[in-house]
Chain A
Amino acid sequence: MEIGVLRRDGRTDPFFDGTAAGKLVIKRCEACDRWYAPDAGGCPECGEEDLAWADASGEAVLVTWTATHGRPAEDGTVPPPVHLALVELAEGPWMYARLAGVTGDDLREGLPLRASFEHPDEGESYVLFRPVG
Chain B
Amino acid sequence: MSAAIAGLGMTELGRVYGRSPRRLAADAVRLAAADAGLGLEDLDGLLVSHGMGGSPGIELADTLGLRDLRLLTQMNAFGATAGAMVAHAAMSVLSGAATTVACVFADAPLKPKQSAGSAYNRSAREWYGYGGMTAALGLRSVNSFYALAAQRHMSRYGTTSEQLGAIAVSTREWASRNPLAQMREPITIADHQASRWVSEPLHLLDCCLVSNGAIAVIVTSADRARDLARPPVHLWGWGQGHPGHRKERGSDFGLTTGAVSSGATAMKMAGITPPDVDVCELYDCYTYTVLVSLEDYGFCAKGEGGAFAASGALGPGGSLPTNTGGGQLSAYYMWGFTPLSEAVIQARGDGGERQAPRNDVVLVSGNGGILDHHSTLIVSPHPKGA
Taking a contact as CB atoms under 8 Å apart, the answer to whether B130 and A15 are in contact is: yes
Is there a chain A Cβ closer than 8 Å to B97's Cβ?
A: no
Taking a contact as CB atoms under 8 Å apart, the answer to whether A1 and B246 are in contact is: no
Taking a contact as CB atoms under 8 Å apart, the answer to whether A1 and B138 are in contact is: yes
Q: Which residue of B lies closest to A1 (CB)?
A: B138
| Docked pose: A84 CA to B197 CA in angstroms | 14
Taking a contact as CB atoms under 8 Å apart, the answer to whether A4 and B124 are in contact is: yes
Taking a contact as CB atoms under 8 Å apart, the answer to whether A6 and B127 are in contact is: yes
User: Given that A38-B130, A68-B143 are contacting pairs, would A84 and B136 also be in contact in the complex, using a CB cutoff of 8 Å?
Assistant: no
Contacts of A73-129 to chain B: CB distance below 8 A: 81-82, 84-86, 88, 92-98, 104, 108-109, 123-124, 126-128
Q: Which residue of B lies closest to A109 (CB)?
A: B155
Instruction: Return B121 CB to nearest CB of chain A, in Å.
Output: 10
Taking a contact as CB atoms under 8 Å apart, the answer to whether B138 and A11 are in contact is: no
Q: Which of A64, A81, A123 contacts B155 (CB 8 A)?
A: A64
Kindly state the interface size class of chain A when it binds its partner. 35 or more
Is there a chain A Cβ closer than 8 Å to B251's Cβ?
A: yes
Which of B144-152, B294-302, B360-368 is the interface stretch? Answer: B144-152
Q: Which residues of the other chain, B, contact A52 by a CB distance below 8 angstroms?
A: none
Taking a contact as CB atoms under 8 Å apart, the answer to whether A69 and B199 are in contact is: yes
Q: Which residue of A lies closest to B152 (CB)?
A: A64
Is there a chain A Cβ closer than 8 Å to B113's Cβ?
A: no
Binary contact track A5-37/B, C-beta < 8 Å → 1, others 0: 111111110010000000000000000000011
| Docked pose: A38 CA to B248 CA in angstroms | 12
Contacts of B132-173 to chain A: CB distance below 8 A: 132-134, 136-139, 141, 143-144, 147-149, 151-152, 155-156
Q: Which residues of the other chain, A, contact B130 by a CB distance below 8 angstroms?
A: 9, 12, 15, 38-39
Is there a chain B Cβ closer than 8 Å to A72's Cβ?
A: yes
Q: Which of B125, B196, B198 contacts A5 (CB 8 A)?
A: B125
Q: Which residue of B lies closest to A78 (CB)?
A: B196
| Docked pose: A86 CA to B202 CA in angstroms | 16
| Docked pose: A100 CA to B155 CA in angstroms | 20
Q: Which residues of the other chain, B, contact A6 by a CB distance below 8 angstroms?
A: 126-128, 132-133, 136
Q: Which residues of the other chain, A, contact B253 by a CB distance below 8 angstroms?
A: 86, 94
Taking a contact as CB atoms under 8 Å apart, the answer to whether B249 and A8 are in contact is: no
Taking a contact as CB atoms under 8 Å apart, the answer to whether B129 and A12 are in contact is: yes
Q: Which residues of the other chain, A, contact B139 by a CB distance below 8 angstroms?
A: 84, 96, 98
Q: Which of B132, B144, B247 contacts A94 (CB 8 A)?
A: B247
Taking a contact as CB atoms under 8 Å apart, the answer to whether B133 and A81 are in contact is: no
Contacts of B327-342 to chain A: CB distance below 8 A: none
Q: Which of B129, B132, B199, B248 contacts A66 (CB 8 A)?
A: B199
| Docked pose: A95 CA to B251 CA in angstroms | 13
Q: Which residues of the other chain, B, contact A66 by a CB distance below 8 angstroms?
A: 144, 147-148, 151, 199-202
Is there a chain A Cβ closer than 8 Å to B305's Cβ?
A: no
Contacts of B221-265 to chain A: CB distance below 8 A: 246-249, 251, 253-254
Is there a chain B Cβ closer than 8 Å to A46's Cβ?
A: no
Q: Which residue of B lies closest to A38 (CB)?
A: B130
User: Given that A37-B247, A67-B199, A69-B199 are contacting pairs, would A9 and B148 also be in contact in the complex, using a CB cutoff of 8 Å?
Assistant: no
Is there a chain A Cβ closer than 8 Å to B95's Cβ?
A: no
Is there a chain B Cβ closer than 8 Å to A47's Cβ?
A: no
| Docked pose: A37 CA to B126 CA in angstroms | 22
Q: Which residues of the other chain, A, contact B202 by a CB distance below 8 angstroms?
A: 66
Contacts of B315-367 to chain A: CB distance below 8 A: none
| Docked pose: A15 CA to B132 CA in angstroms | 12
Q: Which residue of B lies closest to A88 (CB)?
A: B249
Q: Which of A64, A92, A97 contacts B254 (CB 8 A)?
A: A64
Is there a chain A Cβ closer than 8 Å to B117's Cβ?
A: yes
User: Given that A64-B152, A126-B133 are contacting pairs, would A4 and B125 also be in contact in the complex, using a CB cutoff of 8 Å?
Assistant: yes
| Docked pose: A128 CA to B134 CA in angstroms | 10
